[in-house]
Amino acid sequence: MTGDNPLDEMADGTGHAKPHWRSLLSTMFALGHETLAQRAHLMDQAFAEEGITAILPGERAVNWRCDPIPLLMSAVEFAALESGLAQRAQLMELILADLYGPQTLLSEQLVPPDLVYGNPSFLRPCHTVDGRRTHRYLSFYAADMLRGPDGAWRVLADRTGQAQGLAYALENRRIMSRVVPELFQSQRIQQLRQYLEVTSDALQALAPDDGAGVALLSGGHSDPLWFEHVLLSRELSIGLVEGGDLTLRNGKVFLKTLRGLQRIGVLLRRKEGHGVDSLELSSGTGVPGLLDAIRGGSVRMVNDPGSGVAEAPALAAFLPALARRLLGEDLQLASQATLWLGEGAVVRTVLRDLEGWLVRPATDGNAHPVVPMMLSTAERANLAARMAANPAAFAASVAPNPSVAPCAGEHGLEAKPIALRMFMTFDGTRWRAFPGGLARALSEEDALAGRLPRNALSKDVWVMQDETSTVQGALGLLTPTLAIRRTAGDLPSRVADNFYWLGRYLERLEEAARLQRAIIARILRPSPTAREVAEMHILVASLVKAKMMDAEGASVLGAGMLASAVMRAFRHEGGMRRVLAHVARQVEQLRDRLTGEMHAVLTRSLRILGENMKRLPPDSKAQALEYASNLTTEILEFAATVAGLAAENMVRGGGRLFLDFGRRVERAQSITGELAQVLDQPRALTQPGRVEAALRLALELRDSVITYRTRYLAVLQPAPALDLILADEGNPRGLAFQLAAARDLLREIVEDGDSLLMAMEPLLQETRDIVQEVLKSPDQMATTARLPPRLRKLEQAIGAVADRVSRRYFTLLPIARSLGVDSELLRGAA
C-alpha cells in the first residue's frame, strides 16, 4: 500500500515509508495478515470482556473497537501540533473570559451575537457583570483534526466543554500492549503515565489548602461515556461522584458519606454544563446552589460550566481575526476553512456548490456534520431550502479529503481515512499535550466531527521519542502528611446503597435458581410420587411469591403447562432475566469501586449467562428443561464465585460490608418467607404428610440435607429440622447465621448500644424460642403447622430493620414511577 496513495500517513513525499514507520512495518509483515486479523478479533473480545461495550448482550450496546495497527507520529510533528494546540487553547480561554466578562468582542463585532446569545451552551448565570474572575475557564482542551492533501493538519472542531475520549485512548494503549506486544518491542514510544501525573497534580493544585478533595462529577451510569468517567477517576486518583452525592453548606460543597460530610474543592466536570445546578439552570439532576459556590471561589469546576459555548462550529470562521486581536499573532494550526452563513451573501456562495461542503448547526458542536454529497437529490434540496430560510443557523466547512492509514482487514491491510483527537492539559504554567491521542478510522457512515460515536474503529496513537529529549517530571506538589484511616464510613451514601442492592439482587438470583432447579428436577421425573406432587405445589407457590411465575401458571398443574410456565422465567422479560439485568446494572454503577479482577469476572460471567439464556430452546420439552436446569447450576456457581471474590478481594468494611449486609438481609427474609410458604401448602394433604414434605423441601432448598442426615441419620422430626434451618448459628444457609452476621456487620458502623444493634437481638432470640416451643410440644407436627403467621411476622421484622438501615445511611432520592410499572423493579439507588 505504501506509495500508492499520496495521502498515506506512513508514506513520505517520495512514495517511501517514513523513517518512524519502517521498523513497525517490518514487525507487521513478520506477523502476517492472518495473525493481525486474529489479534484484531482478540482485541474486540477484550473490549467486550472489560465491559467497555455492554455487560449484558443487547443492553446499551457500544461497539467500540481498536485496530491492532497504531497511528505513528514523529516527535517533530507532535511538537508542532502541541505548540499549535496550546495557542488555540489559550485563544479559547481569552474568548471565554471576554464572552462571560466585558464582552468586548461583541461590541467590536468580532463575534456575532447570534453565536453567543443564540447558543444553548451560553449560560447566562455564569456571566460576571463586573468582569472579575479569579480562575480560568479552561484547564482541559481537545481538538478534532484531519490531515489534508498538502500534508498539513487542520482543526475541524475545538473541544472546550468536556474534552471527552481520553480514557478510551488510555484503554486502547493498555489492551494493545497486552494483545500485540510484538509491535512495542522495537519502538521508542513516549509513555502516557507522566501526562496523567501532571494532570493529577494540576487538579490537586487547584484545591483550597484546607484539605478539600477532588472529584469527577459524572451524569451517572446512564451516561454513554460512563466507562470513561470510571477509568479517568481511577487513573487520576480522584473520587467519582454524581449530583445526588453532593450538598452545599454555608457556600461550600460537600460529599455525603456514611459518617458525615467531606469537603470537595475541585470538580472535574464530565456532564453537560447546563446540568450542574438545578437551582439556576434547567436541570433536575444538578446540585442546587453549585454555581453560586463556583462564583464564590469555594469550589473550582474544570472546565467551567459555560465553556461549551466556544465549541460552536461557526466560531471557526472568526478565529483568525480573534487570534490577531487577542494574541497579536496568526494561528499556527488553522481550522478547516469554515463560513458562517449568517453573514451577507455567504449562503448563496455555499448553495452554488453544496456538494463541496460539510454543513453543521452554527452553535451545536455535538451535532454530526451533514455531508451533502452523500444525500439523495430530494434530501439535498430539503437541506438547501432550510439553509436558505434560516442561514444564520448553519455553518459550512470545505469538505475535507483526509489522509489514510493502514488498518487490519479480513484480507490484509486496508487504507482508511483518519480523524485524530488530541488532548491538552494546563499544568498551572503552560499547556501540555497528551503524548498520544484518539484516532478513528472512518467509514462512509462515520461522522467527521460531533460527539464521540457509540460505534467506531479507533487506533492507538504512538508519539515517537526524540533522541535528544529529556524526561520532565510532574509538578511535585507539597502535600500534607495524610493521617492513617481504616474506616468504613468514608463511603458515599449512594455507593453504599448500590453495594447493598447488589448484595440483595445477587441473593435473590441465587434463591430463584434454587427454586427453579428443584421444580425442574421434579417435572422431569416420569412418574412423580404423591410427595413429589405435593412438593411441586409448594415450589409453585414459592415461585409465585418470588415473582418467577405468574398466578395463571400457578393454577395449572399439568406437566406440559407447568413446564411452559417455569420456562417463561428464563425468556425475554422473564423473572430470571429481570433479576440478572438488575445485577448487571448494579455492577455497572459500581464499576469504579470494584477491583479490575472482580469487575472482569463479574462482567464476563454476566455476559455468558445472558448469552446462554438467549440460546434457551423455544419449546418446553425435556431437552429445554434440562438446558434450563444447567442454567440454574451456572447461576449458583456464579453466586459462589462472587462470594469468594468478595471474601478474598474486597477490604473488610466499606463496600464489602454493605454488599454482605444486603445478602444477609435478603437471605434471612427468603428463609422465613419460604419456610412459611412451604408450611402453608398444600391443604389437600394430611397434616403430618404436609409438614414432613415441607420440612424435607426446606432442608433441600437450604442445602442442608447432608448436614441433617449426618446429625440425625434418616429420621425426620420437626424440632431438629427447624433448629438447623432457623436457630443454628453455624449453618451458613440458616436464619440465625444470617442474623448474627448482619448484627456483626452493623457493629462495624454503629456504636455499642445503638438501637439498630438492639433490634437484632430479639430476632435471634425468636429463632431460638420457635425451636424450643416445637421441641417441648407433645405434637411437634401440629405446632410446626401453626408457625406460618409467626414466621411471616419475623420476616416483616427483619425487613423493618433493613428499612431503618436504608433510611439512616443511604441516599434515597425520589423515584419516578409510572402507572402499570411493577414497583419492585424500581427499587435500589436512584
Per-residue model confidence as pLDDT tens digits over 754-771: 888 899 999 999 999 999
In sequence order, the β-bridge partners of residue 158 are: 143
Q: 622-649 vs 559-567: helix axis angle to the nearest 10?
A: 40
Mean pLDDT on 55-83: 79
Question: pLDDT class for 318, splitting at 50, 70, 90?
Answer: very high
In sequence order, the β-bridge partners of residue 66 are: 458
In sequence order, the β-bridge partners of residue 266 are: 214, 300
Could you tell me the three cell numbers for 789?
403467621
Matching residue, cell 487547584: 206
Of the listed ranges 615-629, 725-739, 754-768, the one predicted with least confidence: 615-629
What is the per-residue pLDDT across 198-217, written as a single tens digit (0 to 9) for each?
999 999 888 876 778 999 99
> DSSP per residue over 247-284, as a string?
EEETTEEEEEETTEEEEEEEEEEES-GGGS-TTTSS-S
What is the per-residue pLDDT across 588-620, written as a single tens digit (0 to 9) for each?
888 888 877 788 888 888 989 988 998 888 887
Question: pLDDT class for 476, splitting at 50, 70, 90?
Answer: very low
In eight-state DSSP terms, residue 288 is: T
Question: pLDDT class for 334, splitting at 50, 70, 90?
Answer: very high
> DSSP per residue over 100-166, as a string?
TTT-HHHHTTSS-THHHHT-TT--GGG--TT----S-S-SEEEEEEEE-TTS-EEEEEEE-S--TTH
In eight-state DSSP terms, residue 723 is: I
Report pTM.
0.80
Distance CA 653, CA 748 (A): 7
Q: What is the per-residue pLDDT for 153?
A: 94
In eight-state DSSP terms, residue 14 is: T
Distance CA 651, CA 666 (A): 22
Report the 3 state secondary structure along 739-783.
HHHHHHHHHCCCCCCCHHHHHHHHHHHHHHHHHHHHHHCCCHHHH
Matching residue, cell 447570534: 114
Pairing label, strands 140-147, 239-242:
unpaired
Q: What is the per-residue pLDDT for 563?
A: 85
Mean pLDDT on 394-410: 88
Supply angle C-alpha 425, 428, 429, rounded to 5: 100
Question: pLDDT class for 830, splitting at 50, 70, 90?
Answer: very low
Looking at per-residue pLDDT, the higher value among 805 and 652 belongs to 805
Average pLDDT, the chain: 84
**Amino acid making up residue 249:** R
What is the per-residue pLDDT across 501-538, written as a single tens digit (0 to 9) for each?
999 999 999 999 999 999 999 888 888 777 788 788 88
Query: For residues 498 and 586, is the Cβ–Cβ distance under 8 A?
Result: yes
Where do the H-state alpha helices sit in 390-492? Answer: none
Distance CA 54, CA 613 (A): 16
Question: pLDDT class for 338, splitting at 50, 70, 90?
Answer: very high
Query: For residues 743 and 737, is the Cβ–Cβ distance under 8 A?
Result: no
Distance CA 559, CA 512 (A): 20
What contacts 570, CB < 8 A, 6 or more positions away? Answer: 516, 576, 577, 613, 616, 628, 631
Phi and psi, residue 367, nearest 5°: -75, 140
Question: pLDDT class for 388, splitting at 50, 70, 90?
Answer: very high
State in Å, rounded, how far the first CA of the chain is from the last one. Answer: 53
Query: For residues 457 and 441, is the Cβ–Cβ distance under 8 A?
Result: yes
What is the per-residue pLDDT across 146-159, written as a single tens digit (0 to 9) for each?
998 888 999 999 99
Of the listed ranges 220-224, 456-460, 781-785, the one predicted with least confidence: 220-224
Mapped onto helix, strand or coil, the DSSP state of residue 445 is coil
Classify residue 31 by burial, with Cβ atoms within 10 Å: 0-12, 13-18, 19+: middle
What is the per-residue pLDDT across 339-366, written as a single tens digit (0 to 9) for each?
999 988 899 999 999 999 999 999 998 8
Tell whether the model's pLDDT for residue 307 goes beyond 70: yes
Q: What is the per-residue pLDDT for 787?
A: 93
Distance CA 316, CA 312 (A): 8
Q: What is the per-residue pLDDT for 829?
A: 36
